[in-house]
Amino acid sequence: MCTDGLYVNDCLDEARARCGVWYRPNDPQNTAIREPGEEQSNEIGELFAILRAVRNAPGDQRLKIYSDSRIALEGLTRHATDWEA
């Protein structure tokens, strides 16, 4: 699956992060949503998309997630323990 985050209207009061998860063409799980919460950024949108993909997967399913966010990928591989703390 592929994930992506997007931050629109930077520096404006209505600035919001969006995220998307894409599995394959015409898959009903494909989704694009507005990221909830007070803190908004492209990175948060990307992490929220990854979280949504993980939550939608069965517990025993191996996941291969494609992301263009170095921050998200390094956070989930190198810094996960520190982030959890």
- Tell me which CATH code domain 2-84 carries: 3.30.420.10
pLDDT at 26: 93
* pTM (global) more than 0.95: no
pLDDT of residue 64: 82
Question: What are the CB-based long-range contacts (under 8 Å, 24+) for 20-28?
Answer: 20/49, 21/49, 21/52, 21/53, 21/56
With contact defined as beta carbons under 8 Å apart, do 21 and 2 qualify? yes
Place of tokens 């993909």: 53
User: Domains of the chain: which residue ranges?
Assistant: 2-84
Q: For 42-81, how does the pLDDT look when each residue is reduced to its tens digit (9 = 90+)?
A: 787 888 888 888 888 888 888 888 888 888 888 888 887 8
Query: What pLDDT score was predicted for residue 69?
Result: 85
Specify the pLDDT at position 15.
64
Residue with tokens 């591989």: 77
Q: What is the pLDDT of residue 25?
A: 92
